[in-house]
Structure 1
Amino acid sequence: MGFPGARADEGDANYVLRGAPLDVSTSFRPGARFGPRELRHCAEPFEDYDHHTGQDFSALGVHDAGNIDPWNDVGEYLDFLAGDLSDTADDGRLPLLVGGEHTVSVAGVRATRPDVYVCLDAHLDLREAYMGNPLSHATATRRVLEHADRAVVLGARAGSEAEWDRAERADVTVVPPEEVGEWSRDLDGSVYLSVDIDAADPGFAPGTGTPEPFGLAPRDLRDVVRALAPDCVGFDVVEVNDRDDGQAAALGAKLLREFVFTHASRTVD
């Protein structure tokens, strides 16, 4: 089953959606491997037409290229995934990555080479390693900073003492949930935008691996997506699982569509 409305042939696509159901380092509630399936399913009832931009999703050139299933060696998997996404970006198409755990964002950033990585996330993900593993959902932002000049974490409210210390450096900006609405959003250069669904308060999106209370409302996430989409070279939604009645997946699918609608409407010559 493809993402509803993603009807374009690969050769005619402006956007290429790729599922990356990696789910090996989840430390509390597994199930992120079902994220791509759940997003595709929960997007089925959405109207094709978007009143906000006056566009039909099916007319915007989105191609669903299916999933790249993981294997035991996560490093090799991320290399392969980054290569696949690089092919998309090098062909002038914008990659839309659907996880899977947040670790897959490292491949998205490697492929698109943005100046700034912006993630909506409850957690800092700045650990050097977690439980001895340097390629973990808890190290995603740390690994991304090996490929991007700067990271902005929106909605963060959890992290170890060492992570908060790392966040004090000049290459990291942390915006707590209560300040996201006032964040200036003035960024220099290209942007890769990652949506970890746990940025949302778990009352709105309980289907995620590490829920963290006191988070963002769905409109907060939508407003950030709309504001940043025109400057983005890549986008992902991660950490959705199947542990709710579709709330997290519906929100993730809607945000992906909001990204495409806004990016398409504001980048037309």
Structure 2
Amino acid sequence: MFPGATASRTDAAYVVVGAPLDISTSFRPGTRFGPERIRRFARPFDDYDRRTDLRFSDCSVCDYGDVRAWDDAAEYLAWLSGELRDVVRGDALPLLLGGEHTVTAAGVEAVSPDVFVCLDAHLDLREAYDGNEYSHATVTRRILEGHDSLDVDVEEAVVLGARTGSPTEWERADSDDVTVVAPEDVPDFDLETHLDGRSTYLSVDVDAADPGFAPGTGTPEPFGLDPREMRNAVRAVAPYAEGFDVVEVNDRDDGQAASLAAKLCREFVFSHADG
């Protein structure tokens, strides 16, 4: 259980759902261990948050456990989306713990926001990767355009911290429905003005962080964001968000990535509850 997630499902304002999908990772696998690892490294954190004067255990968070993954990404996303829609229908906000970034498509489908905001080192705008249209490298493209049974309709994708992509991805990123903010520009980017009150889904790919801060991820990319920059972005978006996830944590470090992911999840809850 995520520490402090003591509410019942019927009374919850926030519901933690683990999604340990780990089938398309192209470098270092291990995201199947992400949800439980995030829970584990949240254990040392104090319940009380001085900035908001809130206790996590008073924020009505429930931990639903994990939705067991299997080796068909499209089928799994459809099932996961149904589980998350149940959360939304219960007037709660889903907190999805990945798992590879592909699971975010299910979260967006369930929430149906106006804007998709993502902290990510990669554009994830490929049409397919190694012939696979449902991949951690295609998730933002799927969210923008949908595919087969994936029913999504967002106005815009905002990618914070992206620093790499293929030529075709950068070409896709030049479209009006994509805004890319380079790592060095993230601190000065006015998220509140840009969102302009639109409903939002917020996804944190932990590889948005420089790998010196979060080495336990599948495709680390140097020259990234520092934890405070990520925290500030989460705080800025949280009041507009109707769904949240943190993804791409694996077991290839001493807990740095999982600790950062867990802390950002808590920061989201505190900022949303306080907003």
Q: How many residues align?
A: 265
> For 1:172-208, what per-residue CA distance to the aligned partner results, in whole angstroms no more than 9, with x for missing partners?
0000000000101121310000000000000000000
SS of residue paired to 1:75: helix
Partner residue, 1:212: 221
User: Match of 1:182?
Assistant: 188
Fraction of identical pairs, as percent: 65
Q: Residues 58-110 of structure 1: CA distance to partner in whole angstroms, max 9, x if unpaired? A: 01000000000111221111001001101111221000000000000000000
What's 1:230 paired with? Answer: 239
Question: Which residue matches 1:201?
Answer: 210
**Cα displacement (A) at 1:216:** 0.2
Distance in 2 (CA, whole Å) between partners of 1:90 and 1:166 is: 34
1:261 maps to which residue?
270
| Alignment partners' CA distance in 2, 1:106 and 1:219 | 26
**How much has 1:211 moved relative to structure 2?**
0.1
In the other structure, the counterpart of 1:57 is: 56
* Correspondent of 1:244 among 249, 253, 258: 253
The Cα shift of 1:114 comes to 0.3
The one-letter amino acid paired with 2:187 is G
CA distance in 2, matches of 1:135, 1:112: 19
1:48 aligned partner, one-letter code: D
2:71 alignment partner in structure 1: 72
Contact 2:10 2:90 in 1 (8 A): no
Structure 1: which 5+ residue stretches go unaligned? Answer: none
Find out whether 1:25 has 2:31 as its counterpart. no
What secondary structure is seen at the aligned counterpart in 1 of 2:51?
Answer: coil
Which aligned pairs between 1:87-98 and structure 2 lie closer than 5 A?
Answer: 87-98=86-97
Query: What is the aligned-residue RMSD (CA, Å)?
Result: 0.6
1:20-42 deviations in Å (ceiling 9; x for gaps)? 00000000000011100110000
Matches within 5 A, 1:115-154: 115-146=114-145, 147=152, 148-154=154-160
Aligned AA (1:206): P
Gaps of at least 5 residues in structure 2 are: 146-151
Q: Which residue of 2 aligns with 1:14?
A: 13
Q: What is the aligned partner in structure 1 of residue 33 from structure 2? A: 34
2:262 aligned partner, one-letter code: A
Taking the aligned partners of 2:240 and 2:163, their CA distance within structure 1 comes to: 26
In the other structure, the counterpart of 1:48 is 47
Matched-pair contact (CA < 8 Å) for 2:118–2:203: yes
Deviations 1:146-174 (A, max 9, x none): 32121000000010000000000000000
Q: Offset of 1:127 from its aligned partner?
A: 0.1
Structure 2: distance between partners of 1:176 and 1:230:
23
Equivalent-residue separation in structure 1 for 2:89 and 2:208 (angstroms):
30
Deviates more, 1:126-135 or 1:144-153: 144-153
After TM superposition, the score normalised by the length of structure 1 is: 0.98
CA contact (8 A) 2:118 2:205 kept: yes
Amino acid at match of 2:190: S
